[in-house]
Amino acid sequence: MSGLLGVRLLLLETHFYLLTFPSVSLSQVEVYSVTVDCTVTSRFAHTVMTSKAFNKANSSQEIFFEVELPKTAFITNFSMEIEGQVYVGEVKEKEKAKKQYEKAVSSGQTAGLVKASGRKMEKFSVSVNIAAESNVTFVLTYEELLQRKLGRYELLTRVKPKTLVQDFQIVTNIYEPQGISYVDAHATFLSNELLPLVEKTVTDRKAHISFSPTMEQQRKCPGCDGTLIDGDFIVSYDVKREKNLGDIQIVNGYFVHFFAPELPKLPKNVVFVIDTSSSMRGRKMEQTRDAMLAILQQVHEDDHFAIVRFDTVIETWKDSLTKATKENITEAMDYIRRLYSRGWTNINDAVLTAVNMLVKDRQMERLPERSADMIILLTDGMPSVGVSNIGKIQENVLTAIGGNMSLYCLGFGNDVDYSFLDVMSRQNKGLARRIFEASDAVAQLQGFYDEVASPLLLEVDMHYPDNAVDSLTTSHFSQLFNGTEIVVAGHLMDNDLDNFLVEVVGQGVRKKGKTKEMEYIFGDFTERLWAYLTIQQLLEKRSSGTPDEKANTTAKALDMSLQYSFVTPLTSMVVTKPETEDSTSSPLIADKLTEGTWRKQSLKMIDCAPVDGDPHFMIELPDRGDALCFNINDKPGTIFNLVRDSNSGILVNGEIIGDKKTPPDGKINTYFWRFGIVHQTLGVRLEVTLMIDFYSFSYSVDLLVTKDRSLTVTLRDSVKFVILLHKVWKKHPYHRDYLGFYTLDSHLLSPGVHGLLGQFYHGINYEVADLHPGKVPEKPDATMYVKGQELNVTRGWQRDFRGDVKNGENVPCWFIHNNGTGLIDGHVTDYIVSGLFKSV
């Protein structure tokens, strides 16, 4: 079928601003220096990444600079030095920066930046045209407040130079006035030979870590050009603690207070709410069972717990919470082993069931008076049965919880609406976490539980003298967990530190007195830490509140982002790219994406899903102005499952046919020539070929035929399919007539829909980065991050025939090689069926 089999998905507008794809030989560009210089002062990290390159060619070349930085960091500066001229970035309001960029593009200027999100990191990439035998220096600066988790701070630097570098070094200096209790440094790429090169010097309050391998030490093997330096360099440490009220830093009129007391753990009462709907089938269900089995073994004997499984119906393991005795844990593990996927997704009733269990057990005094109540929800999809309006679900849950317990939401996989879970968690004293579909999903689930498994204090309030401080960051915390830390910062109105008293009030705990003031170190880090923390908290508050409150919060966060030169979701950094012989100066735009915004856009439903071609599959993404493509190659006569929705009883299969005879190049093209459509509930069985045949059919289906063009199949109260007829010249020596297949109203299918097309109907999450020349100059290659994998993809074109059945319209797309391996679930052979109306 020499048309285009496509799937139309509306997905995220990722910022792909890099528009030029020149062919550059890496051997013509020498990256001769890469340095990472990080200074940490009282948990506030300031990192400068510098890369220097030289164009050895006798003509100008496009040189790329690409780094990855932590998601929690804010870029504060980016600059380029070219032949002694420095081009410095300026932080602007995002809308203004976007207009400047669009104006440049409309005038024919092509330059830009790619920014995408990963698990813990974000990617920053930029290119610039450099004259022959010239140098360029890139400098990127970012800042972040290190968060204490599981009893340590972690500073992660991702290094991927991709070539041997003459001057390569990572230097980290840590200054902690409280005193450093331990420091560790390791890297994912460290071999036994490289390990001794990590130098570490630690005194009472300072630590110096460096790593500077020579070119020979970087080499993968003797005489080869490959580098061992490819991965994460991680410095972890902790500080000494004051046992009472914590420690305070005061510099230039701003203070920061760190509070991490040593207290006995509180018992907890936890209800695990587990999604077992159809979309959890297979690997996700298996990983959920494995994670829950491991977590149950960690539940402390003083804790109480319950299990709620949900799909279309709600089922509880027991009617009330149970003490975590060995016998009960063993029984619960047996229950978990029997979980299987079925039905749709009833999130509303599941969470309310968990809330009611905790409320009832509190009323019956079955739970310890001084203990922490929490719900941990694990789901991989959107609500699809019962109450499906996410705003109404959030309202119901907020009302039911009433501030009396915490809700933690784990979003599993690519199809979950993360924004929905994030808002609902924050409204109820909790937080949300994305669990990525990958081999380590079990470890991700266990890791999250470890973070919240040991509450120390509930309803913690940090009080400071009203006449001494203002502009406080958040000073109320719903809970404090073992191994974490409370951080409060603010502005001092009164420099009389004798009046600076602190009171900490928590459930059953009250402490009052002076904190220990640490010695002054340097600079304005406390003010920048205060600004960073304030902006982060303002951005979090934007997800809730009245429209006026959201507007005021946004305006304040924007003003502070501009004042302190932070690239946040509200701002962009603009760098004017130097003029070249071919173009005038043009701007580079650095944006910061938020995970919630990304998912909100990526989960819009598909309006049209086509399949048309050799056979070519295309996932079109109008919101991003982008598309993904892949081919399926197999022998003529093979039948593939395209759509399979067991919940609604809909099945679509397609059979391919080959050319009339083998062309001179020996490559036989294949095309879809007939489709089988089944709706079990409506009693519909329809075969569509180049001549339409009806095997079994009822009034529940509408057929609209446009002569010599198309057939539209509408299943009552359900999805609509359009089959296009492509006619080939009758005397063509090789090619045949063929059919194209398009899906409309796919949002009417359940979240559990699958098949070669169906798996993409409810969204796909991916990133594209590391643009580099491909085999063909006009078709660059790149790295795609999708479904926990890294794929090499190529920029190309496919045709969309809906508007013009004869000629089609060229649509640019990222082409995934090897029968879509890595993009589609499983292997292409998993979708082969034995008959036109047979299921997998």
Q: Does domain 268-453 have CATH number 3.20.20.70?
A: no
If you average pLDDT over every residue of the chain, what do you get? 81
Asked if the model's pLDDT at residue 45 lies above 80, the reply is: yes
3-state helix, strand, coil in the chain (%, to 5): 20, 40, 40
Q: What are phi and psi of 77, to 5 degrees?
A: -165, 150
DSSP-derived secondary structure for 438-480: STTHHHHHHHHHHHHS-EEEEEEEEE--TTTEES----EEEEE
Q: Which amino acid, 121? A: M
What does the pLDDT read at residue 668? Answer: 74
Fold of 29-239: Immunoglobulin-like (2.60.40)
DSSP-derived secondary structure for 565-618: T-B-TTEEEEEEEPP-SS---EEEEEE---HHHHHHHHTPPPSEEEE-BSSEEE
| Lowest mean per-residue pLDDT among 207-221, 482-496, 769-783 | 769-783
Partners of 505 in the β-ladder: 461, 510
The token duo for 246 is 């914590």
Do residues 303 and 338 make contact, with C-beta atoms less than 8 angstroms apart? no
Asked if the model's pLDDT at residue 797 lies above 80, the reply is: no
> Dihedral, CA atoms, 220, 62, 575, 161, nearest 10 degrees?
0
Mean pLDDT: which of 91-95, 132-136, 242-246, 498-502 is highest? 132-136
Asked if the model's pLDDT at residue 698 lies above 50, the reply is: no
* Mean pLDDT, range 583-608, rounded to an integer: 45
Of residues 611 and 246, more confidence is placed in 246
Q: What are phi and psi of 286, to 5 degrees?
A: -65, -45
Q: What are phi and psi of 663, to 5 degrees?
A: -65, 165
Q: Which amino acid, 39? A: T
* Mean pLDDT, range 579-587, rounded to an integer: 51
Of 520, 507, 453, which Cα lies nearest the Cα of 478? 507
Q: Which helix (DSSP H) or strand (DSSP E) does residue 684 occupy?
A: strand 684-688
Residue 401, classified by CB atoms within 10 Å of its CB into exposed (0-12), middle (13-18) or buried (19+), is buried
Asked if the model's pLDDT at residue 377 lies above 50, the reply is: yes
Of residues 253 and 403, more confidence is placed in 403
- pLDDT confidence bin for 132, thresholds 50/70/90: confident
Do residues 321 and 367 make contact, with C-beta atoms less than 8 angstroms apart? yes
What does the pLDDT read at residue 118? Answer: 52
What does the pLDDT read at residue 606? Answer: 33
Asked if the model's pLDDT at residue 589 lies above 70, the reply is: no
Q: Which amino acid, 300? A: H
Q: What are phi and psi of 731, to 5 degrees?
A: -95, 10
Give the number of residues written for the chain: 840
Neighbours of 193 (CB within 10 A): 10
Measured CA to CA, the distance from residue 700 to residue 718 in angstroms comes to 10
Partners of 706 in the β-ladder: 710
What does the pLDDT read at residue 64? Answer: 75
Measured CA to CA, the distance from residue 447 to residue 444 in angstroms comes to 5
Q: Where are the beta strands (DSSP E) in 191-329?
A: 198-202, 206-211, 231-239, 247-251, 254-259, 268-275, 304-310, 314-316, 322-323
Measured CA to CA, the distance from residue 557 to residue 534 in angstroms comes to 8
Strands 372-379 and 268-275: parallel
Do residues 477 and 458 make contact, with C-beta atoms less than 8 angstroms apart? no
What does the pLDDT read at residue 601? Answer: 30
Measured CA to CA, the distance from residue 155 to residue 217 in angstroms comes to 24
- The answer for residues whose C-beta is within 8 angstroms of residue 276's C-beta and 6 or more apart is 285, 309, 310, 311, 339, 340, 341, 342, 343
How far is C-alpha 740 from the chain's CA centre?
A: 33
Neighbours of 707 (CB within 10 A): 6
Per-residue pLDDT tens over the stretch 654-667: 999 887 777 777 67
Of residues 665 and 134, more confidence is placed in 134
Percent of the chain with pLDDT over 90: 35
Per-residue pLDDT tens over the stretch 297-339: 999 999 999 999 999 999 999 999 999 999 999 999 999 999 9
Give 775-782's long-range contacts (Cβ < 8 A, gap of 24+): 777/21, 777/22, 777/23, 778/21, 780/21, 782/814
| Lowest mean per-residue pLDDT among 256-260, 408-412, 556-560, 697-701 | 697-701
* Mean pLDDT, range 272-279, rounded to an integer: 91
What does the pLDDT read at residue 329? Answer: 96
Q: 547-563 vs 525-541: helix axis angle to the nearest 10?
A: 150
What does the pLDDT read at residue 44? Answer: 93
Tell me how far CA of residue 677 lies from CA of 611, 671, 697, 820, 831, in angstroms: 15, 18, 10, 24, 16
Strands 15-16 and 626-631: unpaired
- pLDDT confidence bin for 266, thresholds 50/70/90: very high
| Lowest mean per-residue pLDDT among 2-16, 113-127, 172-186, 563-577 | 2-16
Q: What is the DSSP letter of 649?
A: T
Per-residue pLDDT tens over the stretch 777-786: 667 888 888 8
Q: 418-427 vs 595-602: helix axis angle to the nearest 10?
A: 130
Q: Report the half-sphere exposure of 755 (CA within 13 A, side-chain side).
A: 29
Q: Which amino acid, 766? A: Y
Q: What is the DSSP letter of 707?
A: T
Neighbours of 405 (CB within 10 A): 23
Can you say whether the dihedral through the CA atoms of 601, 605, 607, 613 is positive or negative? positive
What does the pLDDT read at residue 16? Answer: 23
Of residues 344 and 113, more confidence is placed in 344
Measured CA to CA, the distance from residue 567 to residue 93 in angstroms comes to 9
Q: Which amino acid, 666? A: G
What does the pLDDT read at residue 515? Answer: 62
What does the pLDDT read at residue 22? Answer: 28
| Lowest mean per-residue pLDDT among 17-21, 450-454, 554-558, 766-770 | 17-21
Percent of the chain with pLDDT over 70: 82
Domain ranges of the chain: 29-239, 247-263+463-528+538-564, 268-453, 617-833
- The whole-model pTM stands at 0.67
Residue 421, classified by CB atoms within 10 Å of its CB into exposed (0-12), middle (13-18) or buried (19+), is buried
* Mean pLDDT, range 376-402, rounded to an integer: 91
Tokens 């000629």 -> residue: 807
Q: How many helices (H) and strands (E) does the chain have?
A: 12, 52
What does the pLDDT read at residue 119? Answer: 60
What does the pLDDT read at residue 759? Answer: 87
Do residues 97 and 574 make contact, with C-beta atoms less than 8 angstroms apart? yes
- pLDDT confidence bin for 808, thresholds 50/70/90: low
- pLDDT confidence bin for 762, thresholds 50/70/90: confident
Tokens 């996700």 -> residue: 284
